[in-house]
């Protein structure tokens, strides 16, 4: 593994999104329809500049999607705006998909007694006393290219940061069953976060991941991996996309050491701290961008030669969206069983630069 690149460089100017459509304010969960025309020019070699995202769920009310496929994905008055009144605390957008909800779909059809909403911000499974977490109930359905349930909640930051560090705590149900990824067999995973850049207008969908409005971004996913040798590993992967969008310029993949299995790493009933550190390349097509993955404070994998920005006309771009939760390709049981299993994400924070780094 190469040594981390710890040299401090002058940071490109923070970039304002170039759209005149109403956008979100810096106040969490509020909208004011305005945006400053000038963003302060920050250009000095200080690695850590402070907190830029904290949803403070401990002081927020309980939240869940009220029915299957409830979402607010764009601000344009279409069907995707159907539930602007149920935006999760500390966030700006959300997107849920599931088959089995206690209230069924919006018209009341398909209610499944005893099932759980796919996404909840709740004290259940919280990491700290009196706190809350994002509790996701993964549903076992989907085949081939069809993804399963989705619990995405998104914070959109008003400026683009050339460096970002996102951390959160993760815990899986000790009885969680991963559909095992056998080398060469396909893709099975549970997505827990996305960090990226959105540069569309307020009317563009946040969850379509259109190359005309998204990039670069990363997806943080977890799974069980069995190599051709038969050895089973815990796998944490950072799937990386560039600007302009290019599928999988990585991925950056971390496998467990010492042949530890997914049970040893993920299914011990404890919370573990995930950290994602990202730095834009200094100029388009310069191979000095950074992606670094942390697990309980230790570096699991890193790449200090990422070509995040490949567009010479995109100057000063950076990271401005954080999505927690996500969808899964995980079908350990047939859909007829209506199997649900939980995982929890707690105490998410994001910084402009890694604290202490």
Which contacts qualify for 122-128: CB closer than 8 Å, 24 or more apart?
Answer: 122/62, 122/63, 122/64, 123/62, 125/171, 125/342, 125/344, 126/344, 126/346, 127/169, 127/171, 127/271, 127/344, 127/346, 127/347, 128/58, 128/346, 128/347
Token digits of residue 191: 């997505």
Which CATH number characterizes residue 230's domain?
2.60.120.200
322 located within any domain: yes
**Which residue in 300, 303, 309 sits closest to 290, CA to CA?**
303
Domain count, the chain: 1
**Rg from Cα positions in the chain:** 20
pLDDT-based confidence at residue 176 (cuts at 50, 70, 90):
very high
- 3-state secondary structure at position 266: helix
Mean pLDDT of the chain: 83
357 located within any domain: no
pTM equals 0.86
pLDDT digit string, tens, across residues 207-262:
999 889 999 999 999 988 888 777 778 888 899 999 998 877 878 887 765 446 67
Taking the CA of residue 57 as centre, how many other CA atoms within 13 Å lie in the half-sphere pointing to its CB?
27
**How far is the C-alpha of 156 from the C-alpha of 141, rounded, in Å?**
30
pLDDT digit string, tens, across residues 318-341:
999 999 999 998 888 999 999 999
335 located within any domain: yes
pLDDT at 159 over 60: yes
Q: Which residue in this structure is represented by tokens 């099932």? A: 115
276 located within any domain: yes
Q: What percent of the chain has pLDDT over 90?
A: 61
Quote the domain boundaries for residue 323: 15-352
Q: What is the pLDDT of residue 144?
A: 59
With beta carbons less than 8 A apart as the criterion, state whether 121 and 89 touch: yes
pLDDT at 54 over 50: yes
Token digits of residue 85: 């009144």
Strands 189-198 and 328-329: antiparallel
**How far is the C-alpha of 271 from the C-alpha of 161, rounded, in Å?**
28
127 located within any domain: yes
pLDDT-based confidence at residue 304 (cuts at 50, 70, 90):
very high
1 located within any domain: no
26 located within any domain: yes
Token digits of residue 38: 């000038």
pLDDT digit string, tens, across residues 344-357:
999 999 999 999 86
3 located within any domain: no
């Amino acid at each position: 593994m190469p040594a981390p690149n710890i040299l401090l460089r002058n940071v490109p100017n923070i970039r304002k999104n170039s759209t005149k459509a109403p956008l979100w304010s810096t106040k969490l969960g509020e909208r004011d329809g305005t945006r400053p025309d000038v963003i302060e020019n920050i250009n000095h070699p200080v690695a850590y500049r402070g907190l830029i995202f904290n949803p403070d769920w401990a002081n927020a009310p309980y939240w869940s999607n009220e029915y299957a496929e409830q979402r607010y994905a764009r601000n344009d008055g279409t069907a995707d705006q159907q539930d602007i009144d149920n935006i999760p605390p500390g966030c700006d957008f959300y997107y849920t998909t599931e088959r089995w909800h206690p209230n069924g779909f919006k018209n009341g059809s398909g209610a499944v007694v005893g099932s759980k909403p796919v996404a909840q911000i709740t004290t259940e499974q919280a990491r700290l006393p009196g706190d809350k977490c994002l509790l996701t109930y993964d549903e076992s359905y989907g085949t081939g290219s069809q993804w399963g349930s989705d619990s995405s909640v998104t914070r959109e930051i008003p400026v683009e940061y050339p460096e970002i560090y996102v951390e959160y705590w993760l815990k899986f149900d000790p009885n969680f069953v991963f559909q095992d990824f056998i080398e060469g067999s396909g893709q099975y995973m549970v997505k827990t976060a996305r960090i990226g850049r959105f540069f569309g207008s307020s009317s563009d969908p946040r969850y379509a991941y259109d190359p005309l409005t998204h990039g670069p971004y990363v997806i943080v996913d977890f799974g069980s991996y069995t190599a051709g040798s038969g050895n089973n590993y815990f796998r944490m992967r950072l799937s990386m996309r560039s600007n302009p969008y290019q599928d999988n310029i990585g991925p950056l993949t971390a496998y467990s050491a010492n042949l530890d299995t997914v049970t040893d790493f993920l299914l011990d009933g404890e919370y573990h701290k995930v950290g994602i550190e990202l730095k834009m390349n200094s100029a388009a097509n310069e191979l000095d961008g950074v992606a670094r993955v942390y697990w309980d404070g230790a570096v699991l994998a890193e790449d200090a030669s990422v070509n995040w920005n490949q567009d010479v006309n995109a100057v000063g771009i950076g990271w401005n969206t954080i999505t927690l939760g996500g969808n899964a390709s995980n079908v350990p049981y047939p859909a007829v069983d209506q199997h649900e299993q939980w995982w929890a994400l707690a105490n998410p924070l994001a910084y402009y630069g890694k604290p202490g780094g």
